[in-house]
Amino acid sequence: MTGGILITAFDAFPGVPHNPTGCLLASLANCDYPALRSARRLLLPTLYNVAPALLLASLEPTPRAILMLGYSRRATSATLERLSSGHVLPDRPDAEGRCPNPSGQQVETCETRADLMTIRSDLRRAGLACEISSDAGGYVCNHLYHAALSGPCAAGGPVGLFVHLPALAGTPLAMQSAGAMTVSAMQRALRIIIERI
């Protein structure tokens, strides 16, 4: 591996015309943290059949780690996803209105190699709320995460971690979300996370 970090985020999807993770990704070019400014950044469409393919096509040179970001209406803080799953929800249309076809095969799960306990401890020590989740959902976020963990992030590949984030504080989306964070707090959280993966 050649080192470096690849950070991905998502664009708009139904009900979320301004994805907070896309806004966060754009802010990294001018943030206060050199490691975030120098990270490779990839904005993905919220599409089942496109996002994983774009991620896989963006792995040259091979990064040391892949940090994937997604918005969750239920998140109250940075939420570290421990597992990805082959499970999809057939009633969750993506940004083009397409729903996945559930596989009849046994659902496979994959686990990140990132040290989530240390990351959570470091975030909390820095005054940033953080949770660990074992359910990345059944939407495009989980679909992307599973493609990463079962593919390039398998043993010997880059460390992969998916983090769900709440809404951006002060935005209309925050009014209908369980939690909100400022851009500055999100940037601080990302800096700590990439130091540990």
Mean pLDDT for the stretch of residues 93-98: 92
Mean pLDDT of 32-59: 96
Question: What's the pTM?
Answer: 0.95
Amino acid 1: pLDDT = 42
Domain that holds residue 119: 5-196
What's the per-residue H, E or C state across the chain?
Answer: CCCCEEEEEECCECCECCCHHHHHHHHHHHCCCHHHHCCEEEEECCCCCCHHHHHHHCCCCCCCEEEEEEECCCCCCEEEECEEECCCCCCCCCCCCCCCCCCCCCCCEEECCCCHHHHHHHHHHCCCCEEEECCCCCCHHHHHHHHHHCCCCCCCCCEEEEEEECEECCCHHHHHCCCEECHHHHHHHHHHHHHHC
Does residue 132 surpass a pLDDT of 90?
yes
CATH number (domain holding residue 114): 3.40.630.20
Lowest mean pLDDT among 16-30, 68-82, 98-112: 98-112
Total of domains in the chain: 1
For residue 110, the model assigns a pLDDT of: 95
